[in-house]
Amino acid sequence: MIELTEVSKVFHEGRPNQCQALRRVSLTLERGGITVFRGPSGSGKTTLLTLIGCLARPTAGRIRLDGQLLSNLPERFLTEVRRHTFGFVFQQFNLIRGLTVLENVMLPAYPLGRPYHELRAAAQILLEQFGIGEKADNRIEWLSGGEAQRTALARALINDPAMVIADEPTANLDSARSREVLTLLGELALQGRTILISSHDPLVFAANHVKRLIELRDGCIAGDCPC
Amino acid sequence: MSTFLERQKYLIDYTLAALRRRKARNLGLLLVYALLVFLFSSVLLLSQGLRREAAALLQDAPDVIVQRLIAGRHDLLPAAWLEPLRRIRGVSAVHGRLWGYYYDPAVKANYTLMVAPDRGLATHDILIGAALARIRQLSIGDYFSLPAATGQALPLKVAGILDPASELLSADLLLLSEASYRSLFNPPPDTFTDAVLTVRNPREARTVAEKIALALPGSRPILRTEMLRTYDAVFNWREGMVFVTLSAVLLAFVILAWDQAAGLSAEEQREIGILKAIGWETGDILQMKLWEGALLSLTAFLAGYVLAYWQVFYGGARLFAPVLKGWAVLYPDFRLTPAVDVQQVLALLAVTVLPYIVATLIPIWRAATTDPDAVMRG
C-alpha cells in the first residue's frame, strides 16, 4: 500500500521561475489493479508518479510504502526500493540507442550482478511474452513505436517489480498499438502487479482492469472515482 | 564475490558499448592521449637508456683522473707530477695523457683528439669515431689533414674506425700518435693534458684523491663516480628541459579532457538520467565512467608506451635524440639496450592517467548526482 500525506512539490524553489507542481496531496493506493491519473498537461500527474516511484523527493509531506517512510531515505536506499519495487515505462520510451533490444531489457539488472545466462534467459522470456522475441538482437533504432514500447515494458519487468509506473504509455502510439500496450498492462495487473498510469488518453480510461481513476488539476486532486 | 565480479563485467560490457557508440570522439581522444604518452615515454626511455649506456661504458674509465688547475682553470700537467702520484699508497699505475679539441670549420663540429700509446699507432696513423667517419665520409686507408701548429697541413691516415658499440663516448674521437699530437698543438715538452691513475682498491679511490690534493697543491683529482654523476646531471638537465616543454602539451591535454568530460553531450546526460531512473545508483554510474576512463587511458597508455619503446630501442630514437644525446653536429649513432623500468612506468602512469581521471571525474559526478526525474519529462 502507498500512502501520500500532504505531499507538495516545488521546482526551482526560491528562484524567479519557481513552480508548484503538487499542493498538499493526500492519497492512499491499494496494491493490485490499474490506477489511472488523468488531467491536463501541467496538472501534476507526472510529478506525482516520480514521487511515488522514488525518482524525486517531495518538498513537503510524507510518502510511505507498506508503512516504510520513503521520503527521508538516503539516495542509496531509495534506489534500492526503486530497483526492486518499481518498473518504469516512459512516454519517450527512453531506450538506450546503439544497444540491442535484449541489452536494453537487461540493463536495469546490471548493477545487481545476476549471472549472465540467467539474466539473458529472463530477458528473452519477457521479449517472447511480449511478442518481440525475434527482435532481441536488433538495435533499438530499427524498432517501430509499438515494438519500442513493448521493449520498454519488458525492461520495466526485468527486476520483477511489484509495481509498474507508466507515464503516458500510449502518447506516441496509434490506436491499435495503444490497445496492444493496454492489453499487456492489463495482463500484468492480472498477475497481481500494481499498475499506475498517467494519461489523458480516453483509450486508457476505458481499458479493462482499470479500477480507479484519479483526476488532477493544478497540482491538487480534483476527482477520485473507482471504476 | 561472484556478484561483484559479474557486476563489474556488466559495467565493462556497457562501457565498451558506450565507447563504441561515440566512436569518433573517443578515437580522437585516444589518439591525442596516446601521442602524449608516446612523447613522455620517449623522453624517459631514451634518457634512461643513455644513462645506462654511459654508466656501462664508464665502467672501463680510469679510477681517478688528475688535472692541474691554475687560477681555477685547467692547465697542462708537468711530467714531474707523475712520480709523486706513483708514490701515493694505493695507486698501482699512473700515466700521463695528451688530448685536446679541434674545431673543424668545414663541418662545424668539434673533434676530441687523444694520444693512444697503447694502440701502437704509426706517426701519421689515426683511429676515428664512427660519427666522425660518417660526417667526413672517411673509410680505412683515406687521408685526412688537419692544420699543424706551424700552419702547414698535417696529413693523417685513417688506420681504423672505433667500435660503434662505444659510440656514445667515442662518436667524435680521433686517436693519434704522440708525434702527430705534438705537431698539431705544439705543447711544451714534458707536459701532459692530465694524468690517469689506477687504484688497487677502487673503494679507496676517495682516500687516494684526498692524498693527491694534499701532496700536489693545485691538483684536481676527479673520481669515476664523479664522472658518472656528471653524465647523470647532464642527462637529467636535458630531460628536464624536454619535460618543461612537454608540460605545456600535458596541460593542453588536461584542458581537452576536462572539456570533453565537462561538456557531456545531451545524449550522455540523457543516458545517465535513464540509467538512474531504471535503477542504477550514482555509484554505479561513477564506476561505469571510471571503467570508461580506465579503459581509454590504459589503452592509450599501452599504445603510446609500446610505440615509444619501439621508437627508442628499435627505431633509432630519432624524435628526441638531437636534444637528449647532445647539441652537436656529430651525433652518436648507437642502439640502446631495451629495458623497462617498473618505477618509471608507474611514474608515467601517474603523470598521464591520473590527470585524465581527475579531469573527467568531477563533471561526471556532477551529472550523475542529478535527480533522475528529469528523464520523465522528456
pLDDT digits (tens, 9 = 90+) for B134-178: 888 999 999 988 888 888 889 999 999 988 766 666 778 899 999
Chain A contact present for B25, CB below 8 A: no
CA distance B119 to A213: 108
Structural domains of chain B ordered from first start: 2-57+230-377 (no CATH), 63-223 (2.40.40.20)
> Distances from the Cα of B323 to the Cαs of B96, B145, B161, B164, B304, in angstroms?
34, 31, 26, 21, 20
Chain B interface, best mutation among A55, A101, A119, A157, by max B CB count within 10 A: A55
Question: Which of B21, B278, B377 shows the shortest C-beta gap to A88?
Answer: B278
8 Å CB contact of B271 and A96? yes
Query: Is the pLDDT higher at B167 or at B224?
Result: B224
Which chain B residues contact residue A98 at CB under 8 A? 17-18, 20-21
- DSSP at B338: P
Is the pLDDT score of B329 beyond 60? Answer: no
Q: Residue B332 has what pLDDT? A: 52
Mean of the per-residue pLDDT values of chain B: 83
Q: Directed axis angle between helix A116-129 and helix A145-157, to 10°?
A: 130
Which residues of chain B does A75 touch, with a Cβ-Cβ cutoff of 8 Å? 281-282
pLDDT given at position B247: 75
pLDDT at B330: 47
Closest chain B residue by Cα to residue A110:
B10
> What's the alpha-carbon Rg for chain B, to the nearest Å?
30
pTM (predicted TM-score): 0.69
How high is the pLDDT of residue A106?
96
Residue B192 predicted with pLDDT over 50: yes
Task: Give chain A as a DSSP string.
Answer: -EEEEEEEEEESTTSTT-EEEEEEEEEEE-SSEEEEEE-STTSSHHHHHHHHTTSS--SEEEEEETTEE-TT--HHHHHHHHHHHEEEE-TT--PPTTSBHHHHHHGGGGGGT--HHHHHHHHHHHHHHTT-GGGTTSBGGG--HHHHHHHHHHHHHTT--SEEEEESTTTTS-HHHHHHHHHHHHHHHHTT-EEEEEE--HHHHTSTTEEEEEEEETTEEEEEEE-
Interchain pair A90, B4: CB under 8 A: no
* Among B166, B155, B97, B170, CA closest to B122: B155
pLDDT of residue B327: 47
**Model confidence at B311: pLDDT above 80:** yes
Interface residues of chain A, partner chain B, Cβ below 8 Å: 46-47, 49-50, 55-56, 75-76, 79, 82-83, 88, 90-92, 94-99, 103, 107-108, 110-116, 155-156, 159, 167
Please tell me which residue, B71 or B353, carries the higher pLDDT value.
Answer: B71
ipTM, interface predicted TM-score of the complex: 0.89
pLDDT band for position B326 (cuts 50, 70, 90): low
* pLDDT tens by residue, B33-56: 898 888 888 888 887 887 777 777
B17/A98 CB distance under 8 A = yes
Return the bridge partners of B296, or none: none
Residue B290 φ/ψ, nearest 5 degrees: -65, -40
**pLDDT at residue B376 in the model:** 56
Q: Do A108 and B279 touch (CB under 8 A)?
A: yes
Which of B3, B274, B378 is the closest to A113 by Cβ? B3
Compute CA distances B348 → A194, B167, B304, whole Å.
56, 29, 11
Q: What is the pLDDT of residues B280-306, one digit of tens each?
A: 988 888 888 888 888 888 899 999 999
> Domain span at residue A64?
2-226
Q: Are the Cβ atoms of B278 and A155 closer than 8 angstroms?
A: yes
Contact B291/A at CB under 8 A: no
pLDDT surpassing 70 at residue B374: no
Mean pLDDT of B253-275: 76
Q: What is the tally of structural domains in chain A?
A: 1
Output the pLDDT for position A194: 94
What local confidence, expressed as pLDDT, does residue B322 receive?
Answer: 64
Express each pLDDT in A10-62 by its tens digit: 988 888 888 899 999 999 998 888 999 999 988 999 999 999 998 888 999 99
What single DSSP character describes residue B102?
A: E
User: For position B377, what pLDDT does the model report?
Assistant: 61
Q: Which residues of chain A have pLDDT under 70?
A: 227
The verdict on a CB contact (< 8 Å) between B14 and A110 is: yes
**pLDDT surpasses 80 at B75:** yes
CA B359-B365-B370 angle, to 5 degrees, is 145
Would you call A55 and B373 a contact, using CB atoms and an 8 Å cutoff?
Answer: yes
A118: domain CATH number is 3.40.50.300
